[in-house]
Amino acid sequence: MKQGIEPSACATLGNIFNIQRYSIHDGRGIRTLVFLKGCPMRCVWCANPESQLPHNEITIQESRCIKCNKCILNCPTEAVIQTVTDVSIHREKCIVCGRCADVCPANCLQIVGKQYTVMEALEEIRGDMVFYNASGGGVTFSGGEPFCQIKFLHALLQKCKEFDIDTAVETCGHVPFEHMEKCLQFIDTVLFDIKHINNERHKQLTGVENSLLLGNARKIAASGLSLVVRVPVIPGLNDDWTNLADTAAFAKELDVSEIHLLPYHNYGKGKYPRLGKECAPEIQPPTQLYMEELREKLSQSGIMVQLGG
């Protein structure tokens, strides 16, 4: 058990947009996935656009609107407006107070993001202890980018270890290494996503260069911590053989024995219009056969390849 943290740290607030239970991905055993808001990247295929901004957002699913106008009557900034067919949000006026969502009987309007204290989040995580104990599972922090909420993440990781909960953090790696280093002693596994090994191509696809994240991956590997390199397979964008082979070579340089290939899915496509954001480009998910072929070919380079998280 680690030394206790200061009571003030337990009062630190974190913004969580989803807690997913009973997952068998993103780490070993049965896991609870905790998704934190805020991300330094803007991947063109992002499946969780609601994770990008660090603050609460409002979503609107216009097809559910029953035109009761309660949202309009309760909005203090007149940000909810009536259109010809339904309602919409004037996002420059919206202060995300949640009053419209509170009175919406059809769940047309919803707030994405909820403030948790460390102890509140810990209570949610500890609720699944029986499954962790039975399966060797634990909690995985994802996002967004968990290290963007460093004070909250650090305190919560430390609390988890006080209860001997297995911890994993999924990261894009584009954060100051000091943030990571502060947490490493409380992390069992780092799931490190590499979107593209080529610096220029990485910048085109994510909005940032990859030099910082590759350097961070080297430092984590040197620390001796369990490190898993993961590659999201996005057809037409990063699934060319040169990128996959070079990423595998980088993983072997780190002495990582296994790479996970994560097939792209378009489950997040419908989220963009609800957030008032421009839709992601049309990308067809890879077939299972294609993923198997990639695994077989990449395995010939001398590294173990797993499909999925």
Cβ pair 229, 197 in contact under 8 A: no
List, in sequence order, every residue forming a beta bridge with 193; answer none if it has no partner: 230
Tokens of 276: 């008032």
Nearest-angstrom CA–CA distance, 13 and 195: 30
- Which CATH number fits the domain 7-53+114-307, given the four candidates 3.40.50.410, 3.90.850.10, 3.40.50.2300, 3.20.20.70? 3.20.20.70
> Tokens 């239970």 — which residue?
21
For residue 2, pLDDT over 50 is answered with no
Q: What are the sequence ranges of the domains in the chain?
A: 7-53+114-307, 57-111
Query: In this predicted model, what pLDDT tens digit does every residue of 131-150 receive, in sequence order?
Result: 999 999 999 999 999 999 99
Maximum pairwise Cα distance, the chain: 64
**0.75 exceeded by the pTM?**
yes
Q: How confident is the model at residue 158 (pLDDT cuts 50, 70, 90)?
A: very high
**What pLDDT shows up at residue 90?**
92
Mean of pLDDT values over 33-49: 96
Cβ pair 280, 269 in contact under 8 A: yes
Question: So what CATH class is 57-111?
Answer: alpha beta
